[in-house]
Amino acid sequence: MAQSSMLISAYPSTVKNGPEVELPYQIKARPAQEDPTRSPSYRKVSPMMPSQSPSTPKGVALVTGAAQGIGRAIALKLGEDGFDIALVDIPAKKVQLEEVAQMLKLVGRRTVTTYADVRVETQVKDMIADVVANLGGLDVMVANAGIAHPNGSILSTSVEQWDATFAVNGRGVFLCYKYAALQMVAQGRGGRIIGASSAWGKRAIAHAADYCASKFAVRGLTQSAALELGPHKITVNAYAPGPTDTPMLRAQQSPDIKETEYAKEVVDATALKYLAQPENVAAVVSFLASKESHFVTGQCIAVDGGTTLS
Ligand SMILES: NC(=O)c1ccc[n+]([C@@H]2O[C@H](COP(=O)([O-])OP(=O)(O)OC[C@H]3O[C@@H](n4cnc5c(N)ncnc54)[C@H](O)[C@@H]3O)[C@@H](O)[C@H]2O)c1
């Protein structure tokens, strides 16, 4: 049978232990295709190595900001879970992004590496089109890319800094939600949309006005989108990490993050008394992306060791 006509059905189309709910992730697999209108450096498809015999993919997941930190851990976890993975980051992160693609190949997943700036609408549209053309659809969108400035004091934050933070953390997440939703609604098989908020998007801290406000915005966007997209069997949720050991945190504090006073304060504030690793966040996103999470929507799940309790 030609691969392009093969229907991959990873899950039954209905569940019986509740209202009849169509589950996502019925995908039509398509072979990787080169787009002659695009520069080869824009996108690279990593087909499976011939020796690998992969399990039937659970669907296609796209992760933005996948070159490092939390996004990298999410991409690797979803690959391990059985999704084919679209890896997205900015061109400056090409080396790291290709490394993640190589690691995914080892677990037998098809991957696409795509370079897009989530602030730019045309690039987000192209990003989705590219993934659909090369992996056959989109079932899980993880709008993870985000930035933080070291000082967000309300007394000194400039309009430029405010706008720069919102361009990535607000507009970027909105664009990823919007174009993923358009694709998923058109596909008609449900889906999962997941965004990066923050513990500071649930309970603000001082000296981070732009960052906290942008992460509160992700929660509002997530709730509104969840209400609108529910009838399409698309769930929309966010994750809210506490301070997590990633390049973002190290850049703000110290490469030797665990030895800093800041890390000691962060750890003290948790119930569990250790500093989060990116894999701790990825484990929660893995659940939100799974078929089992189909009755969870509009939520913002704290992954902060018990720092913020509600
Ligand atoms: N690390 C933490 O302590 C922490 C805590 C709470 C929330 N978060 C959130 O989790 C997400 C990931 O954080 P992280 O610590 O892994 O960050 P990170 O800086 O280590 O990685 C972020 C990735 O996003 C990419 N990116 C930035 N701007 C982009 C753009 N315009 N278009 C496409 N890609 C872009 C970067 O190149 C980078 O690879 C962010 O949204 C962050 O705000 C992080």
pLDDT reported for residue 43: 46
Q: Side-chain half-sphere of 82: how many Cα atoms within 13 Å?
A: 13
| Structure confidence by residue, pLDDT tens digits, 141-170 | 999 999 999 999 999 999 999 999 999 999
The lowest-confidence range among 6-20, 37-51, 72-86 is 6-20
In ligand 1, which atom is closest to the CA atom of 146? 41
pLDDT category of residue 55 using cuts at 50, 70 and 90: confident
- Write the residue with the smallest CA distance to atom 43 of ligand 1: 146
The amino acid present at 228, given as its one-letter code, is: E
The lowest-confidence range among 16-20, 27-31, 81-85, 285-289 is 16-20
Q: Give the pocket of ligand 1 (CB within 6 Å).
A: 64-65, 67-71, 89-90, 93, 117-119, 144-148, 168, 172, 196, 198, 241, 243-244, 246-249
- Write the residue with the smallest CA distance to atom 12 of ligand 1: 70
In ligand 1, which atom is closest to the CA atom of 169? 41
**Residue with tokens 């190290």, as numbered in its chain:** 250
Distances (CA, A) of 138 to 2, 54, 72: 21, 19, 19
pLDDT reported for residue 26: 41
Best mutation site among 248, 277, 279 for ligand 1 pocket (most ligand atoms within 8 Å of CB): 248
| 174 Cα to the center of ligand 1, angstroms | 15
Is the model's pLDDT at 248 over the cut of 80?
yes
> For 78-93, what is the mean pLDDT?
98
**Residue with tokens 């072979």, as numbered in its chain:** 31
Tokens representing 10 are: 């990873």
The lowest-confidence range among 20-29, 39-48, 78-87 is 20-29
In ligand 1, which atom is closest to the CA atom of 281? 10
| 248 Cα to the center of ligand 1, angstroms | 7
Residues 180 and 141: their CA atoms lie apart, in Å, by: 6
Quote the radius of gyration of the chain (alpha carbons, Å): 19
pTM: 0.87
- Write the residue with the smallest CA distance to atom 24 of ligand 1: 65
| 127 Cα to the center of ligand 1, angstroms | 18
pLDDT reported for residue 310: 86
In ligand 1, which atom is closest to the CA atom of 211? 43
Give the residue numbers marked as catalytic: 211, 215
Of residues 9 and 305, the one with the higher pLDDT is 305
